[in-house]
Amino acid sequence: MKLDILVFGSHPDDAELGAGATIAKEIANGKKVGIVDLTLGELGTRGSAEIRAKEATDSANILGLSVRENLEFADGFFVNDKEHQLGVIRMLRKYRPETVLCNAIDDRHVDHGRGSKLVSDACYLSGLVKIDTKFDGDDKWQEPWRPKNVYHYIQWKNLQPDFVVDVTGYIEKKTEAILAYSSQFHDPRSKEPETPITSRNFLDSVKYRARDLGRLVGVEYAEGFTVERLVAVDRLGALK
C-alpha cells in the first residue's frame, strides 16, 4: 500500500496530539494516511503497553487511518543508530509516502527530539540505493524511497512554527482521537498518579493553542509545523 502521508510518533498519542486535526483533514480530502509509533509507551506512568495498544487502535479508527504499525523500540532508551534507522527505513520503503510528519525537534520528553532526528535521518538514508533492506517475512529486496517533504509537528514546548495548516472543522475529530487514550488524559475518576498531561489545563491547551495559531493567520483553528529545508511554491498565490 502506498501512502500519501506517513506520520511517526515516539509514543502512541504523539501523532494525535501534534497533528491530529491535520491528519483528519487530509483523510477527509482523500489522502491515504498512516501512523507508525516507534514505541509501545511502556514506560508511561499510567496505563500499560497493552492498554495503549488498544487505545491506539481505537484512535486510528476514529481518524480513519489506512494503517497503523508499531516498531516496538524501547520506550525511553531507543537511540539513533543503524539498527533503529533501518527499522524506520523499512517502513518508509514499505509505504513510500510523499510526506512524512514526525516529532518535535525539541521537547520536554527526551524521546521526542530523539525520535525526530531518528526519523529525519532515516528519511534521507532511505533514498540511498546501497542500503539493502527486506521487510519481515518478505524475500524481496525493498526499493529505495525518499519522501519529498519532512515536517515536524509541535508538542509540549511552544516552538515557533514555520507554517501552519488551517484545521478549522477538524479540531473536534482531533479531540475525539486524543480522548481514545482514556488511560493517559484527564479523568477525575481515575485513581492512577497524576502526570503533566493528565490535568484539565493540558487537555484544554491543545485546543487553545490551535485557536491561537488560527487567530494569527485569520482562521478559527490551525496546527503548526517546522521544516528542515526551504518550502517551495510554484506561485505567490499559493501562499495565504
Side chain identity at residue 210, one-letter code: A
Domain for residue 222, yes or no?
yes
DSSP string for 89-137:
HHHHHHH--SEEEE--SS-SSHHHHHHHHHHHHHHHHTT-TT---B-TT
176 class by beta-carbon count within 10 Å (0-12 exposed, 13-18 middle, 19+ buried): middle
> Number of folded domains in the chain?
1
| 7 sits in which H/E element | strand 5-9
226 touches 106 (CB < 8 A): no
Amino acid (1-letter code) at residue 136: D
Structural domain boundaries enclosing 105: 5-230
> What is the average pLDDT across 71-87?
98
Q: Please give the average per-residue pLDDT across 135-156, as a whole number.
A: 92
* Residue 153 vs residues 22, 50, 159, 180: alpha-carbon distances, Å: 10, 26, 9, 20
Mean pLDDT of 77-94: 98
Quickly state the pLDDT bin for 217 (edges 50, 70, 90).
Answer: very high
Residue 54 one-letter amino acid: K
Integer Cα distance of 199 and 178 in angstroms: 14
211: pLDDT strictly greater than 90: yes
pLDDT of residue 37: 98
Judge whether 51 lies within some domain: yes
pLDDT at residue 49 greater than cutoff 80 = yes
Is 171 part of a structural domain of the chain? Answer: yes
DSSP assigned state of 234: S
The verdict on residue 144 lying in a domain is: yes
Please, are residues 65 and 34 in contact by the beta-carbon 8 Å criterion? Answer: yes
Give residue 25's pLDDT. Answer: 98
Q: Does some domain include residue 235?
A: no
The CATH number given to whatever domain includes residue 124 is 3.40.50.10320
Strands (E) across 11-50 are located at: 33-39
* Span 51-67, pLDDT tens digits: 999 999 999 999 999 99
Place of cell 512524512: 100
Residue whose C-alpha is closest to residue 46's, from 206, 201, 196, 200 = 196
